[in-house]
């Protein structure tokens, strides 16, 4: 880690905040790489000539922002800046991560055939008792767990998927290349919730940490729903972005009731 710029001890800006901002600058400029370990808090305090409490406060503030994370007994590491969840495009997790310069990965929790739940059957317009392929994975960016996704697809669309697909790789790519299934439109709903104990363990966050809860139904060109996803994503690693447009004033006025 490069030496931090000189701290201004005469400034009204608290020392911990100065340290926080300088570390942020190094993370944003990629002088500090994702996954890189920070020096021990005691070493950082001694190097900067600040109290242990000040160094801890700076580190904690960056952990709260989600740009650092701690592993008990191993140290504190760079997790990078928050990733944007863009509702304007239909992208797979793999496509999103690659577009942002991150290395995607997956830990498979389950992959099999089951009778669809009522929620899944309704979303995919299937009859009661129909079977679906269900894939549940923890999604990683540069080895850091980002979210848990559970995807359901009609079995009839890709009956041999279990035999032909490596669930650690991109599902959308295989669906397009092997089955001609291209996701064109998706309805996605985002809510805020708290991590369950199981989800917190899988995502390496504290129990009841804030998380995003996503549900998404994806459609092909004909309008047929082909995938239903329920996902839990870390609130400290994601932010939602969207582009809003305002109607022309004349159109707004013409739409008002007389």
Q: Output DSSP code: residue 251.
A: H
How does 82-99 read in b/e, with b if 16+ C-beta sit within 10 Å? ebebeeeebbbbbebbee
Is the model more confident about 218 or about 69?
A: 218
**Between 35 and 106, residue with greater pLDDT:** 106
CA-nearest of 153, 189, 155, 190 to 172 is 153
Query: The whole model's pTM is what?
Result: 0.64
pLDDT band at residue 99 using 50, 70 and 90 as cut-offs: low
Question: Which has the closest alpha carbon to 37: 17, 59, 18?
Answer: 59
For the chain, the average pLDDT equals: 84
Give percent above pLDDT 90 in the chain: 36
State phi, psi for 69 to the nearest 5 degrees: -145, 150
Q: Which fold has domain 83-241?
A: Chorismate lyase (3.40.1410)
Instruction: Please compute Rg for the chain using Cα positions.
Output: 23
Q: For the chain, give every domain's residue range.
A: 15-78, 83-241
Topology alike, domains 15-78 and 83-241: no
List the beta strands (DSSP E) in 81-184: 83-86, 104-115, 131-141, 144-154
- What three-state secondary structure class fits 57? helix
CA distance 166 to 174: 9
- What pLDDT is recorded for position 85? 60
- Tell me: pLDDT of 86 over 70: no
Most confident of 2-11, 23-32, 178-187: 178-187
Per-residue model confidence (pLDDT) at position 14: 84
Sign of CA dihedral 31, 32, 36, 41: positive
15-78: in CATH 1.10.10.10:
yes
- The β-bridge relationship of strands 225-234 and 144-154 is antiparallel
Q: Would you state the pLDDT for residue 17?
A: 84
Encode pLDDT of 136-145 as tens digits: 999 988 788 9
């Amino acid at each position: 880690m490069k030496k931090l710029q000189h701290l201004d001890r005469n400034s009204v800006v608290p020392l911990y905040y100065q340290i926080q901002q300088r570390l942020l600058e190094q993370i944003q400029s990629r002088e500090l790489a994702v996954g890189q370990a920070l020096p021990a808090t005691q070493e950082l305090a001694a190097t900067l000539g600040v109290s242990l409490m000040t160094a801890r406060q700076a580190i904690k503030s960056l952990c709260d922002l989600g740009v650092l994370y701690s592993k008990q007994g191993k140290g504190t590491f760079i997790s990078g800046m928050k990733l944007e969840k863009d509702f304007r495009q239909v992208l797979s997790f793999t496509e999103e991560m690659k577009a942002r310069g991150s290395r995607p990965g997956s830990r498979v929790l389950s992959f099999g055939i089951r009778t669809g739940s009522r929620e899944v059957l309704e979303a995919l317009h299937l009859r009661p008792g129909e079977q679906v392929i269900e894939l549940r994975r923890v999604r990683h960016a540069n080895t850091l767990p980002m979210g848990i996704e559970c995807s359901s697809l009609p079995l009839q669309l890709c009956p041999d998927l279990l035999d032909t697909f490596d669930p650690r790789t991109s599902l959308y790519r295989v669906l397009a290349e092997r089955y001609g299934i291209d996701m064109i439109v998706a309805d996605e709903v985002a809510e805020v919730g708290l991590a369950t104990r199981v989800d917190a363990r899988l995502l390496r966050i504290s129990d009841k940490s804030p998380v995003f809860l996503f549900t998404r139904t994806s459609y092909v060109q004909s309008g047929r729903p082909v995938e239903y996803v329920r996902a839990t994503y870390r609130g400290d690693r994601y932010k939602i972005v969207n582009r809003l447009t305002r109607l022309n004033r004349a159109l707004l006025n013409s739409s008002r009731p007389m």
